[in-house]
Amino acid sequence: MKKSWKIVLIAALAVLAAWMLWPRNLGAAFDAEESVAVSAIIFGVTDGRVDNETEEYRLPADSEKGRKIGELLAQHTYHLTFGSLTGRDVIEGATTTLHFNNGKGTLLSLTSGTAELFLNHRVYRLDYWGRDRGTELCEAVLNILREE
């Protein structure tokens, strides 16, 4: 009897881990080809004081920049963390944050300095390895947004 409970518990933990770590496509979760409003908040230190810069972008539906951002997001995955399950709503250590809101009401926040993101008010992990994944993605998105 005791052995069967252990087996059931181990199986339940394996299913939970697989569900949490299963990769979900970021491009499928956020449709960047809809009309998208983007707010970029960039934090820095100048002469010993903290300052920030905000950039606002509006991308119409089916825009070239929206298509490029959608293709970029589709190259990345995200998965659940314990913060996703506990309702954690703070990502610490971000130096740049990109807030997206598309015409479907989907909210996405990407952060640099961390490998976490917000998707519809829930924290997820971006890809699997390395804290620089968020920084690389934010820089690539900003480069697309800043194109003339």
pLDDT at 62 over 80: yes
135 and 80 in contact (C-beta within 8 Å)?
no
Work out the burial of residue 8: count CB atoms within 10 Å of its CB; fewer than 13 is exposed, 13-18 middle, 19 or more buried. exposed
Convert the pLDDT of each residue in 137-148 to its tens digit.
889 999 999 987
Q: What are the counts of helices (DSSP H) followed by strands (DSSP E) for the chain?
A: 5, 8
Q: Are strands 122-126 and 77-79 parallel, antiparallel or unpaired?
A: antiparallel
Convert the pLDDT of each residue in 85-136 to its tens digit.
787 777 777 778 888 888 777 888 888 888 888 888 888 888 877 677 888 8
84 and 119 in contact (C-beta within 8 Å)?
no
Most confident segment among 28-37, 40-49, 86-95, 132-141: 132-141
